[in-house]
Every structure is written in C-alpha cells, then in structure tokens.
Amino acid sequence: MNVSFHGHAVVKVVTNGTTILIDPFITGNGATDLHAGDVHADVILLTHGHNDHVGDTVAIAKRCDAKVIAPFELATYMGWQGVDAHPMHIGGAHEFDFGTVKFTQAFHGSAWTDDENQTITYMGMPAGILLKAEGKTIHHAGDTGLYSDMKLLGELEKIDLAFLPIGDNFTMGPEDARIAAKWIGAEKVVPVHYDTFPLIEQDGEAFCKSLGADQEGIPMKPGDEIKL
C-alpha cells in the first residue's frame, strides 16, 4: 500500500489496484503538487462538505467515473451533481472491493459556501475516516477539535498511520493534536491542515518532534509517499 500527501488535507492511497483520493481540494490550493485535470481516482472519500475538502470532487469523479463515499447528506448532494455516490454515516462501516471504510466522529462543521450568491448549503455531520486494506488501518481525522472518544478509538483500533489536523483556529492546534495522537495510539502520525493559509501556519516538524518516543511523527511535504 502506498500513501502520499498532497497539501492541506489531501491524501492519496493506492491499494489493491485502486487509487483513493481523500478530500481532493486541488484548485485554489497553493500547497498542492497535483493538477485537478490530470489526477486519477477510482474512489474519492470525503470527510465533510467544506469547500477546502470537497474541492474538485465532482469534476474528478465525472472524468474518472470514480465512486464518491461520504456522509449521507453530502453523498446525496454529490449524487445530485451527477456522480456515483455511496452514502454512509458515523459509526457505520462498509466493505468495498478495495477494503473497508468506517466513518468516525469529528467535531466541526459541514457546509458548502457559495460566496457569489452568499448562500451556505448544509451537508450533514462532519466525520473522520478509518480505511482498512491489506491488513493496515489508516485514520484520516478530517477537520476536528480534540474529543475524549479518541481514547476509545485507540482502544478499539490498531492504527498504523494517522493524519491529524494541527492548524488551530478551525481545528485542533499542535498541543491538542499531540494529545489526540497519544490517545489514538497511531504508530505513525502525519500533521495536516496547516500552512495552506496564513491563519493556520504551524511548524509541522516541531509537532512531529514533540510526539512521544513510541510514535513516529512524519512531516510530509506535498508529493511525499509512505509505503505501509
């Protein structure tokens, strides 16, 4: 399994012959190394409906005939845009050809904002993602604040790799993300959702160095890859 980071909260997983994109915010993302018109995906996983996470989902899904997997309201909206959408919700798991997806809690918002028309469309509950494939478990926390049930997640799951937001202001900052990393007990931890905009500038390397000795912090740059 190959896992790569592509700026902000964009993650690509290649497993069992399937290319999976998580939260493909590419157009308008100055931190990514991807180009929306070139990137390929068989599956797109969405954590919530904010513009900087839904991103280029519709265009990529239509071009690649990709399946979009998302919380119910967001998946319904995606289906209305003409893409193949599979609805799920927090606490629910489903086994797909490439592996198993389960949505976890996230404490955040979820809405698509149309600045031109000054409208906000509610997209249901935000979520994190547990992706299991090839005997490995990846946790993409989505956008979230620290919450105590992360301890339960660590007790129930053996997480090999976790992507945790550290940008502060909109999500956990480094201090809370350090606690989250300890609670979920991931073997490897990658900070995400920082440095994309001035308001969420953080030191990813410092965060990684601050983790306990039993966890490996990896400050991935756009395009960096991990083999699990």
> Over the chain, what is the mean pLDDT?
98
The count of domains in the chain is 1
Helix, strand, or coil here: 216? strand
Q: Tell me, yes or no, whether 224 lies in a domain.
A: no
pLDDT of 6 above 90: yes
Q: For residue 228, is it within any domain?
A: no
Helix (H) or strand (E) holding 177: helix 174-184
Rounded average pLDDT over 160-167: 98
CATH number at residue 89: 3.60.15.10
DSSP 115-171: TTTTEEEE----EEEEEEETTEEEEE--S----TTHHHHHHH---SEEEEE---SSS
Beta bridge partners of 130: 102, 139
Average pLDDT over residues 123-130: 98
Q: How confident is the model at residue 102 (pLDDT cuts 50, 70, 90)?
A: very high
Query: Cβ of 81: how many Cβ atoms within 10 Å?
Result: 13
Alpha carbons 126 and 32: distance in angstroms, whole number = 23
| pLDDT tens, residue by residue, 34-85 | 999 999 999 999 999 999 999 999 999 999 999 999 999 999 999 999 999 9
Q: How confident is the model at residue 178 (pLDDT cuts 50, 70, 90)?
A: very high
Task: Scan for tokens 């893409």, then name that residue.
Answer: 83
Determine, yes or no, domain membership for 172: yes
Residue 134 falls in which region: left (phi positive, over 0), alpha (psi -120 to 50) or beta: left
Tokens 């990684």: give the residue: 208
Is position 225 within any domain?
Answer: no
Mean pLDDT across 11-36:
97
pTM of the model: 0.97
The Cα–Cα gap between 203 and 119 comes to 34
Which two tokens mark 180? 């989250």
> Is 226 domain-assigned?
no
pLDDT at 30: 95
**DSSP symbols for 41-91:** -SEEE-S---HHHHTTHHHHHHHHT-EEEEEHHHHHHHHHTTSEEEEE-BT
Instruction: Establish if 212 belongs to a structural domain.
Output: yes
Report if residue 104 sits inside a domain: yes
Q: Is residue 40 part of a domain?
A: yes
Model confidence at 212: pLDDT above 90:
no
How many Å is the Cα radius of gyration of the chain? 16
For range 16-21, the mean pLDDT: 96
- Residue ranges making up the domain that contains 121: 2-219
